[in-house]
Amino acid sequence: MKAFHESYNAQQSNLEKNRYLYDLYHRDLEGFYKFVFPQMQELLPIIYTPTVGEAVTEYSHHEICSPTTRGLIIKYTEAHKIEELLSRHTHNTDIAVVTDGEGVLGIGDQGIGAINIAIGKLMVYTLCGNVNPYRTLPIMLDLGTNNERHLTDPAYKGLRQKRISGKAYYEFMETFVNAFKKHLPDTLLHFEDFGRDNAKPLLDKYRTFHPSFNDDIQGTGAVALAAVKSGISKTKLPTEQHKICIYGAGTAGCGIADQISRAFAREENKPVEEVRKRFFLIDKKGLLLANDKELLSFQLPFAKNESAIAEQTNNKSGIWGLKEVVKHLQPTVLIGCSTHKDAFTDEILQTMYSYCKKPVIMPLSNPTSKAEATPERILNCTEGNALIATGSPFKNISQCNNALVFPGIGLAMVASKARCLSDDMLLSAAKTLVTEAESNQYSHQLLPNFNNVTALSYKIASAVIKEAINEGLCDLSESETDEKLRSHIWTLAKS
């Protein structure tokens, strides 16, 4: 370990440290985990967000030191070989993280470099959920890129062509998923960082066809739901008295809105359509409006009738930006998924505090340079009364980090062999987070911290499996749950 520490500390930048750790991962898997486990909280930001974003961007300019690499890259030109490539992993894979690299971490289309996203995600599965790393598989679907920087870069390692789309794209994905189901029938298919036009349609199409999970939609939604429910519980007001505004109506924002609205509908015993009347989603053009012909299918459930909203609020200006929504519609919960730095202005925050003395405010965009507001500024504008969760790490503030939830969900799917991941299974994961946050010694925290994240993941996995049993989605009995989970916990000693 001393040599690892010396080599790691010799790296000058976070990117160099990331590259050192990824090289170690490919070269010496057990050595990697022996080095990282004891200092996991310190190294997670190097291994994964935010540093992995830079590593993805610069992927083609770094040669991996190891002669063997962990991962599978399938190029569009190799569509005829998909079955052959996947068949090599039939008997040794519990979780596969699959990406096409179009929607990476708020930095967009990064092409082949996104293989590092898949690798990093699987590292977190092991570090936070004790998932066996020898039974994981990162898969990069190289379907081209529309990123001109990569297309004109002589060093770019991926397909040097425009990204395929439309019918050709969905035919390729159909071929891939069918082959995946055939050769890896019990393997969890984790969709990661797909573009916003494709992520939700793919999840909707395949989530009941094969055990599937999209962390950008479902994981983000579950953690945000937990933070919102935790925050609302501290306001002492029922959910019926809360209105939700989400600034950023892409895959993540709509995924959050979908999960929160469904959870509220269950709690209030109302149709979800009725509950969604209290949800206001804003994209770059403003409040989602039903007469906008460019709305995507996953945005439509949250679109508003412009004339009805104008009449309800007496705002006849036709302008429905964040400022106008906060002023006229008065949300009590404000969530940011926009990557628009400082979008939550002092004026907006002060307006919100003028009518809501305990607002729940969650600037979730990361890294910090893209956050809608800092906790310090939020607290200054609300006289210290806001209930806050963030996407980036801040001292003594709950971080809406998907690593709190997706490792436990993945462990549950691996151990139970559940036939699909249902909405209620996701809700059980969110409820576990809320329960754990309530037991936190810091009463103002909306989410658990990372101090004992592996134990948290185990509790989430247990809750998710129990819900799968209740729904008849797996063949375990409740008495078998604990034993089955323990049999899938990986430790270095067992390897």
| Res 448: pLDDT | 92
Q: Which pLDDT score, from 0 to 100, does residue 85 have?
A: 95
The beta-carbon contacts of 468-475 under 8 Å, at least 24 apart in sequence, are 468/412, 468/416, 468/418, 468/422, 468/425, 469/416, 470/424, 471/422, 471/424, 471/425, 473/418, 473/419, 473/420, 473/422, 473/425, 474/416, 474/417, 474/418, 474/419, 475/417
How high is the pLDDT of residue 117? Answer: 96
Mean pLDDT of all residues in 98-118? 94
**Beta bridge mates, 138:** 97
Contacts of 45-49 with CB under 8 Å at 24 or more apart are: 45/14, 45/393, 46/14, 46/17, 46/18, 46/21, 47/18, 47/21, 47/120, 47/123, 47/124, 47/127, 48/120, 48/121, 48/123, 48/124, 48/403, 49/105, 49/366, 49/367
**Higher confidence at residue 324 or residue 444?**
324
Average pLDDT rounded to a whole number, residues 137-156: 97
Q: Is the pLDDT of residue 67 over 50?
A: no
Confidence at residue 451, expressed as pLDDT on a 0 to 100 scale: 87
Predicted local confidence at residue 369, as pLDDT: 86
Which domains, from first to last, does the chain contain?
2-210 (3.40.50.10380), 219-400 (3.40.50.720), 408-494 (no CATH)
What is the mean predicted confidence (pLDDT) over 256-284?
97
**What's the pLDDT at 395?**
86
Choose among 175, 181, 182: nearest CA to 208. Answer: 181
Average pLDDT over residues 340-359: 97
Among 31-35, 101-105, 198-202, the least confident range? 101-105
Closest to 147 measured CA to CA, from 171, 113, 197: 113
* pLDDT of 441: 54
Give CA–CA dist 465/425, Å, rounded: 8
Average pLDDT over residues 408-426: 98
Strands 279-283 and 286-287: antiparallel
Per-residue pLDDT band at 24 (split at 50, 70, 90): very high
CA-based R_g, the chain, Å: 22
Q: What is the DSSP string of 193-209?
A: S--TTTHHHHHHHHTTT
Indicate which residues carry an active-site annotation: 48, 121
pTM for the full model?
Answer: 0.93
Residue 443: predicted pLDDT: 60
Whole-number mean pLDDT of the chain?
94
Range 250-257 average pLDDT: 94
Segment holding 14, helix H or strand E: helix 14-27
Mean pLDDT of 254-281: 97
Q: What is the pLDDT of residue 2?
A: 86
Tell which residue, 366, 425, 454, 461, has the closest CA to residue 104: 366
Of 6-15, 54-63, 486-495, where does mean pLDDT reach its minimum?
486-495
Adjacency order of strands within the sheet including 387-390: 286-287, 279-283, 244-247, 333-336, 360-363, 387-390, 398-399
Q: Examine the pLDDT at 69 and tell me if it is beyond 90.
A: no
pLDDT at residue 198, as a whole number? 96
Check residue 65 and give its pLDDT.
Answer: 56
Strands, E assignment, 204-272: 212-214, 244-247
**What mean pLDDT is predicted for residues 199-208?**
97
Residue of 22, 8, 49 lying closest to 138 (CA atoms): 22
How many helices (DSSP H) and strands (DSSP E) are in the chain? 21, 12
Instruction: Over range 119-135, report the average pLDDT.
Output: 98
Q: Is the confidence at residue 152, as pLDDT, over 80?
A: yes
Question: Look-up: residue for tokens 């049999």?
Answer: 487
pLDDT value, residue 440: 66
